[in-house]
Structure 1
Amino acid sequence: MSKKEDSRGKKGSHQTELYAEVPSTCLPIVYSPEYNITFMGLEKLHPFDAGKWGKVIHFLKEEQFITDEVIVLAREASEADLLVVHTARYLNRLKNAILEGSREWSLVVATITEIPPLLFLPNFLVQRKVLKPLRTQTGGTIMAGKLAMDRGWAINVGGGFHHCSSDKGGGFCAYADITLAIKFLFERVEGVARATIIDLDAHQGNGHERDFLEDRRVYIMDVYNRHIYPGDGYAKRAIKRKVELDWGTEDMEYLQKVELHSEGALNEVRPDIIIYNAGTDILDGDPLGGLAISPQGIIKRDEIIFRAARRRGIPILMVTSGGYQKKTARIIADSILNLHRQGLIGEEAVEGAGPSHVPLMMSKSVSSGAMFSAI
């Protein structure tokens, strides 16, 4: 373990497998085949592409940017890991079915995922086929948080469940991975005292906003369509830099606002880490996002955020969050490839980077549809 952190944390926290050492030969890109939800076709009843994460990895391999050997394999978050943020009552509600006669009804999971037929399936299958993938993505985000501090950047190809808070899920978000990643860093990594969340998913990130409402260590910038899910006025009080968009916002206006406000946010408070929620549901034609950003606009948006982080020497963790069209996986892959071409991510961030220091390139000195809500 690094001198900066250990598996039990600075305050004698629980033992975790998520902060295990990662070989220096790996890129800080976290993924597991367990991310993908395939369940007798029922996943198709929600507009979310429940296999998009594997498609992103396929495209990155096709372009010869990564191989299986350099990917960091995500581990499933344990119950003890989840209890760092979640209440035992909430986790029990996810775990336990409602008994009626001889049937077990997975009401809570069916409500969170917005796939009503899950009600009629055996609870053990729902746990294995739906919640386990989401727990693995959550573990991936926590792992990527430590990797970002070690290497200067990290990407979890999944995660970004920004509608889930400590005691409530929704919008296909069952676990509060963003909150968990930040809390793990605060508890376990020396020198991490402030975090900035830049949430650019089309939907308001009400989950992490509720979790950090009274926490001055966390600065939240949120850019979202003001007219869609969740419209959580209470959670909005946590947003330090709020940018509300109208239906059909296009590239020019959007990118100007993203650049202006991300620069403003990072100039206002210098964090020890940026958590970047890079939802692709801003894409023109997305059934839930209601915005009109082009694929090129999404790629440019991600470049703006990574460039702002690198210019200031701030480690950055990216999660992929929402995106409800089949072509979003290709766009995510293209964006990652562009970040590499621009020199903002890649092997140069790994070479010479041990877990006890930040690499030179990142030196610390220097969402509603008619029927569905969404990540």
Structure 2
Amino acid sequence: MPHPTELYGETPPTCWPIVYSPNYNISFLGLERLHPFDSGKWGKVIGYLREERLVTDETVVAAREASEEDLLVVHTKRYLNKLKWSFVVATITEIPPLVLLPNFLVQRRVLRPLRMQTGGSIMAGKLALDRGWAINVGGGFHHCSGEKGGGFCAYADITLMIRFLFDRVEGVSKATIIDLDAHQGNGHERDFLDDKRVYILDVYNRYIYPGDAYAKRAIKRKVELEWGTEDAEYLEKVDVHVRGALNEMKPDVIVYNAGTDILDGDPLGGLSISPQGIIKRDEIVFTIARNRGIPIVMVTSGGYQKRTARIIADSIINLHNLGLIDKAHDPSVMAINSG
């Protein structure tokens, strides 16, 4: 029997399947500025969506923190115990001064926000099955596996989301991960290396972190990009390979890791995609998923520039304006057509 969890409660039909909590944002003595990641981007995304009157505080689904019991569905006790050492968290988050802080502060100000986002991803997975689509404004920690964190990723939220669905939702036995972050998603790849129920499409810059050759064995459709890849080539590859992946296996759910570190000028991504290219990319993925009647859940993953929050919000607004997402409760209403 699955353990009791607070992450699979009922959501009012008046809510959009958009998951967020103000506790996603990391702010602690300015230390967050020592990492290129905008650790307040999630709140900014919601702020822009509020300004456009797409959501209100009442219509956003409030994320809940993943409990230790929730995390143990994927993580080993040994790994979770390691996070009680500040130097381990400093290494994973790439913020060296965290070494100097007592762990209770690191837990409260750094790890709790990441556990909130992880809970949000698990909740969004269930919502996508209920509503046809869902977006967690955070999450996408694709460098973390059950046994090891890294690259700012302390919890394996993608693996957890899928495992929860397999264990708890009748009729869900196949999942496709579409990972379009600029970096290889080695965490979920290691977790699902020998699991034929999970099909992984990964499109990434071949020359950057993590270069995990062992994890690459899990990728069913591998698209390795050159430095400075631009919109036209990138969008054509996304369109061709998303369709190809879904032709090879029709999943019960799509997990879309929608990193914005592909943006031109990103200090870590090394690609040259325009803001309009990112918006078009998300449109392509959602259009294909909706046209095929496959539930899709999006997580926001990497993105290391101040302007990425605006781009994520603009992309969600574009999806709404095109009728690819709306508040309908019945998934059959959401599907543009089936087939």
1:27-69 per-position Cα deviation (integer Å, ceiling 9, x unaligned)? 0000000000000100010000000000000000001110011
TM-score when normalising by structure 1: 0.89
**Cα separation, 2, equivalents of 1:346 and 1:225:** 33
1:363 to partner: Cα distance: 8.7
1:346 to partner: Cα distance: 1.3
Pick one of 200, 205, 220 that aligns with 1:240.
Answer: 220
**Cα separation, 2, equivalents of 1:144 and 1:59:** 20
**Cα separation, 2, equivalents of 1:164 and 1:204:** 11
1:157-199 per-position Cα deviation (integer Å, ceiling 9, x unaligned)? 0000000000000000000000000000000000100000000
1:71-110 per-position Cα deviation (integer Å, ceiling 9, x unaligned)? 0000000000000000000001112x3xxxxxxxx11100
Aligned twin of 2:325: 345
AA paired with 2:180?
A: L
**Cα separation, 1, equivalents of 2:293 and 2:250:** 10
AA paired with 2:179?
A: D
1:362 to partner: Cα distance: 2.9
**Cα 1:364–1:143 shift into 2, 3 Å:** farther
Is 1:90 the equivalent of 2:63?
Answer: no
Is 1:359 the equivalent of 2:332?
Answer: yes
**Cα 1:193–1:365 shift into 2, 3 Å:** farther
Helix, strand or coil at the partner of 1:143: helix
1:330-372 per-position Cα deviation (integer Å, ceiling 9, x unaligned)? 000000000000100012x33xx3xxxx333239964xxxxxx
Is 1:186 the equivalent of 2:161?
Answer: no
Pick one of 11, 17, 20 that aligns with 1:31.
Answer: 20
Aligned twin of 2:255: 275
CA RMSD of aligned residues (A): 1.0
AA paired with 2:27?
A: T
Aligned twin of 2:284: 304
1:205 to partner: Cα distance: 0.1
Asked if the contact 2:290–2:337 (Cα under 8 Å) also holds between the matched residues in 1, the reply is: no
Aligned twin of 1:49: 38
1:308 to partner: Cα distance: 0.5
The ranges of structure 1 where at least 4 consecutive aligned residues each deviate by more than 4 angstroms after the TM superposition are: 363-366
**Cα separation, 1, equivalents of 2:265 and 2:169:** 41
Helix, strand or coil at the partner of 2:298: strand
Is 1:75 the equivalent of 2:64?
Answer: yes
Asked if the contact 1:31–1:140 (Cα under 8 Å) also holds between the matched residues in 2, the reply is: yes
**Cα separation, 2, equivalents of 1:364 and 1:109:** 46
1:254 to partner: Cα distance: 0.2
**Cα separation, 2, equivalents of 1:293 and 1:308:** 21
Higher-Rg structure is 1
Is 1:121 the equivalent of 2:94?
Answer: no
Is 1:230 the equivalent of 2:210?
Answer: yes
Is 1:202 the equivalent of 2:182?
Answer: yes
**Cα separation, 1, equivalents of 2:252 and 2:336:** 11
**Cα separation, 2, equivalents of 1:262 and 1:277:** 13
Aligned twin of 1:9: none
Asked if the contact 1:150–1:359 (Cα under 8 Å) also holds between the matched residues in 2, the reply is: no
Asked if the contact 1:90–1:168 (Cα under 8 Å) also holds between the matched residues in 2, the reply is: yes
Count of aligned residue pairs for this structure pair: 339
TM-score when normalising by structure 2: 0.99
1:183-221 per-position Cα deviation (integer Å, ceiling 9, x unaligned)? 000000001000000000000000000000000000000
Pick one of 101, 119, 129 that aligns with 1:139.
Answer: 119
Pick one of 126, 129, 136 that aligns with 1:149.
Answer: 129
Consecutive unaligned residues in structure 1, runs of 5 or more: 1-11, 98-105, 367-375
**Cα separation, 2, equivalents of 1:227 and 1:134:** 27
Pick one of 140, 149, 166 that aligns with 1:160.
Answer: 140
1:122 to partner: Cα distance: 1.3
AA paired with 1:130?
A: V
Aligned twin of 1:169: 149
**Cα separation, 2, equivalents of 1:84 and 1:184:** 8
Helix, strand or coil at the partner of 2:45: helix
